[in-house]
Amino acid sequence: MEHSTSLDEARDPLLIAEGWKQEGRDVAIATVVETWGSAPRPAGSHLVIDAEGNFHGSVSGGCVEGAVVTEALDVLESGKARMLEFGVADETAWRVGLSCGGRIRVYVERLG
């Protein structure tokens, strides 16, 4: 049987998070909780992040992942969950690449 990485990429980020926890990693989960306009990913989309900055899944199709990973590392360190908002009204939206006209709200929490 041929092993394909696309099978792995299609796996649910929450299953990945569970596996990482079982390996003893610190894990944060970012969840899209609200979207407005032409948001690239629907509410309920997940990105999981470990303390080394490895991540799996997507909250924005790639445009704000870097910023979310950075925030998630802070959440892992502090243990305090936070709500992030990205949108074109923000000049940060252009910096992170969210120029599609939508806004997203992402909740980042430590797992376990």
Percent share of the chain, pLDDT over 90: 59
Least Cα distance to 61 among 39, 83, 82, 44 occurs for 39
Burial class of residue 13, CB neighbours in 10 A (0-12, 13-18, 19+) = buried
Q: Is the pTM for the entire model greater than 0.75?
A: yes
How much is the mean pLDDT over the chain? 84
- pLDDT, residue 5, reads 44
Task: Check whether 105 has a pLDDT greater than 70.
Answer: yes
Q: Which two tokens stand for residue 71?
A: 């925030």
- Comparing 2-6, 22-26, 69-73, 100-104, the range with the smallest average pLDDT is 2-6
Task: Check whether 32 has a pLDDT greater than 90.
Answer: yes
What is the rounded CA–CA span in Å between residue 14 and residue 17?
5
